[in-house]
Amino acid sequence: RKMAFPDDVVKQAWDRAGGRCECTRRNHGHRERCNRPLIWFYRGLELPGGWEAHHKTAGKAGGADTLSNCEILCQACHKATQTYGS
């Protein structure tokens, strides 16, 4: 079972991301950072501006629930990580 990031970690990751998707995976359809604008209150929602806090490292329970292992992803990039396994 995947654990959730603590609220303070999510807030720090959000601030670092500047309210935009941090994905840099080329197999997700963008060459650089996705940078799609997100809305804080839309976490977990399937709406434009919706987003998820995602574990960068795979492994048991998705890795550590730390800031260095947390990235802010738009819903499209988050879904693609499930499809491509990265």
Beta strands, E only, 1-86: 51-55, 70-74
Q: Give residue-wise pLDDT tens across range 60-74.
A: 556 788 999 999 999
Q: Give residue-wise pLDDT tens across range 24-41.
A: 998 888 889 999 999 999
Looking at residue 82, its pLDDT comes to 78
Helix (H, G, I), strand (E, B) or coil at 72: strand
Query: How far, in Å, are 6, 65, 66, 68, 76 from residue 45 at the CA level?
Result: 19, 21, 23, 24, 11
